[in-house]
Structure formats: C-alpha cells, structure tokens
Amino acid sequence: MNNALLKTILAGVAAITMGAAVANAGPLMDRIEAGEPIRIGFANEIPFAYPGDDGSPKGFVNAHALGVLAKMGYDNIEPVQTEWGGLIPGLNAGRFDIVTGGMNILASRCENIAFSEPMAKVGDAFIVAPGNPKKIGNYESLAENDAIMVTGAGYSNIEAAKAAGVAEDKIMQVPGPTEILAAVRAGRADAGAGTYFTVKQLADSSGGAVEVTDPSAMPEDAVNWAGIGFRKDDQDFLAKFNAAQKEYLGSEEMMKAVAEYGYGEGSLPGDKTTEWVCANR
C-alpha cells in the first residue's frame, strides 16, 4: 500500500470518527465546547429552588446540582428563573439547559424530558401543635383520632386522606401554605398537610408555634422522587451527570450544602431508579 493511499484511508477514518462524536454530542455539550454557560432553570419554589435577593440560585436542588456540576469541572453557570409551568417548555425550547426546580419524576413528565437518577425522596408530612397532642403521624391516624386536617385546595393530600378513611367534613381546604399554618396555629385544624419540605419550612418559620411530623411514617404511595431535568437529546451529558451524582449524593460535602434547606438523611432517594419511578408514578 503506497503512502498516498494510506493517508487517504486514515483521513477517511478520522472523518468518520469525528462525525460519530458530533452525532453523539447533544446541544448542551455543543454549548459547553463553545464556551457558553450552562443555564439552569428553576421557579420560585422554596425550599426546593428559588432566587436569592441577588438572583443567585438558592434551595437544596440548586445546591445539589451545582455541587454535581462542580465535580464534573463546570462552574460557568447562568441561573434562569421562570414560572413553574414554563420549566419543561423552556427546557425543550432551549431557553435553558437543565431544570433544577425540584421537579418530581412522573410518567407524564418522562414522556417529555429526561431525568437524572433521583436526588431526593419527597414525602408528605404534617404540621401539628407542639407535642403532637393527637399523635398524628399518617393519614390513618387522622381518621383514628377524629382529627381535622387542613391542606391546600387541589393538593394531592386531599385524596390521600380520603383513601385512608378521613371524612370529607374533616378536611379543610385553603389557598396555600400561609393559610395552612394559620389554621393550625389558631387551632382550627389539628394537622396541616403538605410535602415534608413545605411543612418543615412552615414549622421552622413559626417560632415554635407548630412542629413537623416524621415523613417516614407516611405510606409508600404518598412518596415521590425528584430529579434534575434534561432535554432528551442531551443523553451524553446526562450519563456523565449521573456518574458524578452517584459519587456526590449523600457525601459529607453534599449534605453540608443542602442542610440549611431542610434536606437531611431521610431525604436521600434510596435505591429507586428513574426507570422505576417513571413506570410507577
């Protein structure tokens, strides 16, 4: 084989290899290689993800995602705040690259975007009067103690309580978290229901007027898992993110970063995979 022919063959192999690499690289890697920042999208969902006074990304999901990205060697990050309903459309429209908003992994969402492996287990819990006088720990205990539950209108807690035997006239519906706290503080309700992270924040802000129950007392079907959202054509970056997250999740460094937002050992996702969650939630 002469040198000219050998050079032609090698050039062809190089072109094919380069073409395969380009084909496997998604838009996010293209942006990174061009020196563009990684844009993280989130809404104003305390304590999951929200903007600080200076617009910086706060919340335990942002803290976690930034930690994973740092482990991957990426620190050129641009926060993008939007409405909750705009997170998935904004991601797929290319307005940002990653959703760090604290989004639960659900079958309907798995059809539209790709999720990282779970980074948090998101269960329900209650706020109750100090000392938990009616010994409320789960929905069944509400019915057993003839307790009045308050929660937000349209919250999933309503159906969960009814399924556990709580009478409809024992379920008070209010606009949102502020009103849930007010009802329990005033004694109009024995327990206020919501996600653990929501009610934990209410308890922390109450000055000791209420306390939060143990989320592990809730039934398995009341539990969801949150992940980081990606475009489906960024599978290459997602695979690298999952590998880095596996090393970072639950580490001393990670737990220190998220502690101020109420994320503790009980918030770790356990052994559930995104594939399982997409099929079962």
pTM of the model: 0.73
196: its two tokens: 């653990």
Task: State residue 240's pLDDT score.
Answer: 98
> Above 50 in pLDDT, residue 17?
no
Among candidate residues 120, 122, 123, the one with its CA nearest the CA of residue 228: 120
Average pLDDT over residues 160-179: 92
> Above 70 in pLDDT, residue 25?
no
Q: What is the mean pLDDT of the chain?
A: 89
> Above 60 in pLDDT, residue 18?
no
- Cβ count within 10 A of residue 134: 17
What value, to the nearest 5°, has the Cα angle with vertex 278 and ends 79 and 251?
A: 55
The two domains 11-120+225-280 and 124-222 share their CATH topology (first three levels equal): yes
Could you tell me which CATH number the domain at 11-120+225-280 has?
3.40.190.10
Each residue's pLDDT tens digit, 211-259: 999 988 888 877 889 999 999 999 999 999 999 999 999 999 999 999 9
pLDDT top residue among 23 and 31: 31
Domain residue spans of the chain: 11-120+225-280, 124-222
> Above 90 in pLDDT, residue 139?
yes
Task: State residue 11's pLDDT score.
Answer: 40
Query: Given 3.90.650.10, 3.30.450.370, 3.40.605.10, 3.40.190.10, which CATH number is that of 124-222?
Result: 3.40.190.10
